[in-house]
Amino acid sequence: MVVNFAAGPAKLPEEVLNEVQKEIVDYKGLGLSVMEMSHRSPEYLSIHTETIQSLRELLNVPQNYKILLMQSGGTGMFAAVCMNLMGRTGEADYVVTGSWSAKAAKEAAQYGEVNMVIPKTAKYTSVPSQDTWKVSPNASYVYYCDNETVDGVEFNFVPDVPGIPLVCDMSSNFLSRPVDVTKFGVIFAGAQKNIGPAGIVVVIIREDLLGFQMKITPSVLDFSIAAKNDSIYNTPPTLIIYIMGKVFAWIKKHGGVNAMYENSIKKSSLIYNAMINAKGFYHCPVDQPVRSRMNVPFRVGSETGNDSLEQEFLKAAKAEGMIQLKGHRSVGGIRASLYNAITIAEAEKLATFMEKFFNNNKV
């Protein structure tokens, strides 16, 4: 059995995959698969509604927020957010703390004026204190990414921007900790990390922010159209939504987001402690308070990484069944992704391996 530490598409809970396998050909004795059903059939509609309702319960999403299921991918959402919200004032504030928020800001510049809230940095290793931020009073929204998947930088606070809607990309730490939804205008999350297979983005939006879409907004990216049509304006990815529903039920069964949070602290501490114990052999560049619980990037052998040792690390880990540990191509090194489906025992296995690898290779 392998342990899959991929950053996304990522490991899904075994229990969920087993259930899907059982139902894939014949869903509840209907004689057909969910992927063969009409998206307008009562059977599919009940899966669709229950999936959305179970997310509402997991995150305590208030009634004045809509939950939308969009097909844009995270990257499409960078544009959709602008097209739906930026027209309010023509400008928006971006807090760039990593590769994904940088991409979102670049995309936004096509649709209006983008204000950079914090100074540009060569490397993404920190979240500057909010006292130093330059928020513009005329911004349509303030945008940030809660967990930077590539760089391993995770916010340890929710920004306080009174009077300006907060828009947050939670793709890689969604449902891994409790969230006070009322602090946000929009939260979005691509499915392929913590909630299912790739192909859907969950959007949680405060109702008063609907209706500001630019004229150029394609119907399939229009939040108002999605809200009016319960996210079935056109054919939704029915199989993915069904699997997401299973993942939500799994989270609920295993203690909800509070339990996911406690586990994430245990799992990530195991890996960060393995680094501390190896006294400089492993190096995580991220400032301690904002080290991610979900994606742990590190170099092996030195601060900038020793190429051959890193290759050796990946090879030896693979030999022990631990795969997809290679860092993102833009930063190199190693990255261990510890999403909800990774068990504590699996994180322990990696931590033990790191200790052994250090003992075998220290100089």
Provide the annotated active-site residues: 100, 169, 193
Q: Residue 351 CB, nearest distance to ligand PLP (Å)?
A: 24
Q: Which position among 125, 140, 171, 268 is part of the footprint of ligand PLP (CB under 6 A)?
A: 171
Asked if 199 touches ligand PLP (CB under 6 A), the answer is: no
- Tokens 């993404």 — which residue? 124
Smaller CB separation from ligand PLP, 86 or 274: 86
Asked if 145 touches ligand PLP (CB under 6 A), the answer is: yes
Smaller CB separation from ligand PLP, 101 or 213: 101
Residue 190 pairs with which residues in a beta bridge?
201
Query: In the bound complex, which residue of the shown chain has the CB atom lying closest to ligand PLP?
Result: 74
Q: Which stretch binds ligand PLP (CB under 6 A): 59-67, 68-76, 179-187, 219-227?
A: 68-76
Smaller CB separation from ligand PLP, 145 or 296: 145
Asked if 169 touches ligand PLP (CB under 6 A), the answer is: yes
| Residues constituting the chain | 363
Asked if 8 touches ligand PLP (CB under 6 A), the answer is: yes
Contact set for ligand PLP, span 260-319 (CB under 6 A): none
Asked if 152 touches ligand PLP (CB under 6 A), the answer is: no
**Quick one: three-class SS letters along the chain?**
CCEECCCCCCCCCHHHHHHHHHHCCCHHHCCCCHHHCCCCCHHHHHHHHHHHHHHHHHCCCCCCEEEEEECCHHHHHHHHHHHHHHHHCCEEEECCCCHHHHHHHHHHCCCCEEEECCCCCCCCCCCCCHHHCCCCCCCCCEEEECEECCCCEECCCCCCCCCCCEEEECCCCCCCCCCCHHHCCEEEEECCCCCCCCCCEEEEEEHHHCCCCCCCCCHHHCHHHHHHCCCCCCCCCHHHHHHHHHHHHHHHHCCHHHHHHHHHHHHHHHHHHHHHHCCCCEECCCCHHHECCCEEEEEECCCCCCHHHHHHHHHHHHHCCEECCECCCCCCCEEEECCCCCCHHHHHHHHHHHHHHHHHHCC
Asked if 142 touches ligand PLP (CB under 6 A), the answer is: no
Q: Which position among 27, 94, 100, 358 is part of the footprint of ligand PLP (CB under 6 A)?
A: 100
Asked if 202 touches ligand PLP (CB under 6 A), the answer is: no
Asked if 73 touches ligand PLP (CB under 6 A), the answer is: yes
Residue 116 in contact with residue 94, Cβ under 8 Å? yes
Asked if 149 touches ligand PLP (CB under 6 A), the answer is: yes
Q: Which stretch binds ligand PLP (CB under 6 A): 55-63, 72-80, 129-137, 156-164?
A: 72-80
Contact letters for ligand PLP, residues 176-195 (x by CB under 6 A)? --------------x-----
Asked if 159 touches ligand PLP (CB under 6 A), the answer is: no
Contacts with ligand PLP by CB under 6 A: the residue count is 11
Q: Residue 199 CB, nearest distance to ligand PLP (Å)?
A: 9
Q: Which stretch binds ligand PLP (CB under 6 A): 34-42, 73-81, 108-116, 296-304?
A: 73-81
Residues that bind ligand PLP (CB under 6 A): 8, 73-75, 100, 145, 149, 169, 171-172, 190
